[in-house]
Structure formats: C-alpha cells, structure tokens
C-alpha cells in the first residue's frame, strides 16, 4: 500500500492510495466549497449544485450518465458538508478511465436545464420538509445555527425554502466559476490504481476548470444560544453542547477519546448512567463537528416530558465530573474503540479514498495510519481533562424540539453549565 501526492501545474492536488490485492477502485473530486462558502441569499446552492451535476451535460443526458456507469457495475454519488463538496465513483479497476471521464464531464460541462432545475428544487424542498418533520434530524441543524448565528457556518446545508426557490441556473454557474477551481480541488483515488496513470488522466480530463482567485473565508465565530421549538410530539429531543477545538489543535484526538468515553457506545458514561441505571432515555450519544477554525461538541438525547426535568441537570453533572479525569480502563477502552474504527476503515477503498482526500484538503498532506495510531496511544488523562474543562467552561448551546416547555421556561438565558440545576 503506497500513498502518493502530486500537485499539477494548474493547482489540482492528486492523491492516490495503491492497493494491489483488490479488484476495484474508488475515486473522486473533493472541493473546498461547502455551506460555509455560501452567502445568505444563495444558502443551499452547494447542495443543490451537487444534485444538478447528475442531470445532464453537453455530452450526456442524465440517463446516459446513469447507464454508462451502471452498465459496468459501478456507481456515482456525491455529498455536501459545511466545508466541502465531493463527487465520487466506484467501479472495477479497468473502468477507472470511464469514472474519471464522467466525473470530469459533470463537473465541467453540466448544462443546468431550467426545467430540470425547477424539478430538482422541488426535490430539495421535499428533502427540507422531511428534515423538519424529523426532530432527531433537524435538531442538529438548529444546534449549528445557534452555535454560529447569522453567519455562513450556521447555515443549513439544505438551505431555506426561500433561498432554494430563488436559485437560478446562472447562480449555479457563478458558484462553479468561483469555487470549483483547480486550487480548490483534490482528486483522490484508492484501490488497484497507478499514481502516474491517475495523474495523467486527471491532467487531461480537468483542463476546463475555471481559474478564479480563491476568496477569503469568513472566520467562524462561536456565540452559543438557545432555541426551543414546541411541538406536540411523544418525546422531547435535546441537544446540548459548546465550542471545542479545530482540526489543527493538538488535542484533536484527545477530543475523540473524550467523546467516546462520555457517549461513544453502550458502555459509555452517559449511556450507563442515564439509560441503563435510570431508564430515562432510549437514545443518548455524543457528537463532534470539527472545522478548520472552530468546532463543537454536543450530547443528544430523546426523553419523556417528566424525565426531561432531570435529564439536562444529569448531563451537566457528567460534564462537570469529566473535569476530574477518567479511569485508566475507560481511557484504554476508548483508545481501542478509536483505533479499531480507524483500522477497520482501511478495509474499504471508499473510506480510504475519502480519508486521504480530506487530509489533503484540510492539511495539505497525508498522514500515515501508524502516526495516527501512535498519537492515539500517547493520549494522557491530563489532555482529556483539558478538553473537559474547555467544554464545561465555555458558554453552552441548548436546543430542544417537542414538548420542551420546561427547557424554555428554565434555560432560555443559559450562559454557563454551572447554571443548570
């Protein structure tokens, strides 16, 4: 297994992960162009563009795109995040040139037919409506919005009904011109591939990407607020957390261990204390969202109306307790969980392809799994205490959906975790 990285003359970075014992390849183009790169007026455009990329080019209809890749047993997909958008393919290794040809076509020659655009806007609006009707889904959007209010980092990936309806074909073209540039792109491939072949194919195929100066990114500014959407549901859905570290902080992996100990499985502190011992919830877990210049840690739980009164204080108590440190066996277990997750991810060409793409997109280089495992092994209790104290002493963000009147009546002006009793 050999990982190689080349920067083309036009600025595209090509990273390959050669694995000679598999028959397939995963490859794709990653762009530093996500929700946080949008304006308020065009919110949702990165996600809508990802949808429209498969709706036809000057050379292929939407049907042709699907048939060509599926006729060789492959598939295409894409996703949008807050900091990037990815377009990727998987197929048997002999079909690598076809994958790159189709990806380069949809990214450089999409026609954005007006009728197709209106239909796809309708699809996205249905997706948005479905999310709003799914409290344990929309609550994560609300949490992000209250962590980073009135700024791109807090925008919904799907956009709003108003912003999605207003997006026109020229807006999509302008977004591509400004964001889908060579310097903003990483092409990643993993599996039965040859680095020099990939470099040559990418160089030949992505000649028509627009050249536009990279725009300065608006710095994320954590605020921390509360939001309560009262709805007649059976359960109260709660997400509480605070700002933590960014991608480049040396405490990145200690944060992952901290999160696992608190809520990373059935043996975690929160699961054992609140579900197993008290029977107050069905689901409770921790979540992290880490970005280039900020990051958040949160705890999600779903509970009944009466149990809600005890839930948030119990969570706050666990966060305070964590500031005193952890037992050696807890740390060892969490390290093994994280290492196993990292190592098992190496068995999938798709996850390897994505891993190296994101490493290059964020850090500009790749990181060996051995170095990462070594960093995990070296994590100390003191580092975990640093993370715990940073989270507990930061201003909280608290959001609730459902019968959360108790939260609204008691925690609307929340400024610290120590307020929660």
Give me the numbers of helices (H) and strands (E) for the chain, helices first please. 16, 11
Residues 6+ apart with CB under 8 A from 270: 262, 263, 284, 285, 286, 299, 301, 315, 318
Helices 369-377, 328-345: inter-axial angle, 10-degree rounding? 170
Under 8 Å between Cβ of 107 and 180: yes
pLDDT at 115 over 90: yes
Q: Is 217 a residue whose pLDDT tops 90?
A: no
| Structural domains of the chain ordered from first start | 2-205 (3.30.830.10), 226-419 (3.30.830.10)
Measuring CA to CA, which residue among 315, 324, 254 is closest to residue 281? Answer: 315
What is the model's pTM?
0.94
| Chain segment 146-172, per-residue pLDDT in tens | 999 999 999 999 999 999 999 999 999
pLDDT band at 216 (very low <50, low <70, confident <90, very high): confident
Q: What's the pLDDT tens digit per position in 270-299?
A: 999 999 999 999 999 999 999 999 999 999
Cβ–Cβ under 8 Å, residues 395 and 34: no
pLDDT value of position 215 = 75
* Selection from 331, 311, 335 nearest residue 322 by Cα: 331
CA dihedral sign, ordered 275, 265, 140, 134:
negative
Does residue 35 surpass a pLDDT of 90?
Answer: yes
Region 228-237: mean pLDDT is 96
Q: Is 373 exposed, middle or buried (0-12, 13-18, 19+ CB in 10 A)?
A: middle
Per-residue model confidence (pLDDT) at position 253: 98
Per-residue pLDDT of 158-209, as tens digits, reads 999 999 999 999 999 999 999 999 999 999 999 999 999 999 999 999 998 9
Average pLDDT, the chain: 96
Report phi then psi at 321, rounded to 5. -60, -35
Q: What is the average per-residue pLDDT within 63-83?
A: 97
Strand residue runs (E) in 136-280: 185-191, 226-230, 236-243
Mean pLDDT, range 325-342, rounded to an integer: 97
Known active-site residue 50: yes
What pLDDT, on a 0 to 100 scale, did the predictor assign at position 151?
Answer: 97
Question: Mean pLDDT, to the nearest integer, of 81-88?
Answer: 98
The catalytic residue among 38, 42, 50, 243 is 50
Provide the sign of the torsion angle of the four alpha carbons 141, 144, 147, 152, taken in this order: negative
């Amino acid at each position: 297994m050999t990982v190689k990285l080349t920067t083309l003359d036009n600025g595209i970075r090509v990273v390959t992960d050669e694995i000679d014992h598999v028959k397939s390849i995963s490859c794709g183009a990653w762009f530093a162009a996500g929700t946080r790169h949008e304006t308020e007026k065009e919110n949702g455009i990165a996600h809508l563009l990802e949808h429209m990329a498969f709706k036809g080019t000057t050379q292929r209809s939407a049907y042709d795109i699907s048939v060509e890749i599926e006729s060789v047993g492959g598939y295409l997909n894409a996703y949008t995040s807050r900091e990037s958008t990815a377009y990727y393919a998987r197929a048997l290794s002999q079909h690598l040139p076809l994958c790159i040809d189709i990806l380069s076509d949809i990214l450089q020659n999409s026609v954005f037919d007006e009728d197709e655009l209106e239909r796809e806007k309708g699809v996205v609006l249905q997706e948005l409506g479905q999310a709003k009707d799914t409290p344990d889904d929309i609550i994560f959007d609300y949490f992000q919005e209250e962590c980073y209010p009135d700024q791109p980092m807090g925008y919904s990936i799907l956009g709003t009904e108003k912003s999605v309806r207003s997006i026109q074909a020229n807006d999509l073209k302008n977004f591509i011109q400004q964001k889908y540039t060579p310097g903003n792109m990483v092409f990643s491939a993993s599996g039965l591939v040859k680095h020099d072949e990939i470099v040559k194919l990418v160089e030949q195929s992505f000649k028509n990407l627009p050249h536009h100066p990279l725009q300065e990114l608006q710095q994320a500014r954590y605020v921390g607020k509360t939001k309560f959407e009262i709805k007649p549901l059976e359960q109260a859905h709660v997400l509480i957390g605070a700002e933590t570290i960014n991608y480049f902080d040396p405490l990145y992996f200690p944060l992952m261990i901290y999160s696992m100990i608190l809520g990373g499985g059935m043996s975690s502190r929160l699961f054992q204390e609140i579900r197993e011992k008290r029977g107050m919830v069905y689901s409770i877990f921790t979540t992290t969202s880490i970005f280039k210049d900020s990051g958040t840690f949160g705890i999600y739980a779903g509970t009944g109306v009466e149990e809600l009164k005890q839930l948030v204080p119990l969570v706050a108590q666990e966060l305070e307790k964590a500031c005193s440190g952890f037992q050696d066996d807890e740390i060892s277990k969490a390290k093994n969980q994280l290492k196993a997750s990292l190592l098992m991810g190496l068995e999938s060409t798709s996850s390897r392809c994505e891993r190296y793409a994101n490493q290059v997109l964020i850090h500009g280089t790749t990181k060996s799994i051995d170095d990462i495992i070594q960093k995990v092994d070296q994590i100390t209790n003191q580092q975990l205490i640093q993370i715990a104290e940073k989270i507990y002493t930061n201003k909280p963000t608290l959001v609730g959906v459902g019968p959360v009147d108790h939260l609204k009546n008691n925690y609307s002006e929340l400024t610290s975790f120590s307020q929660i009793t």
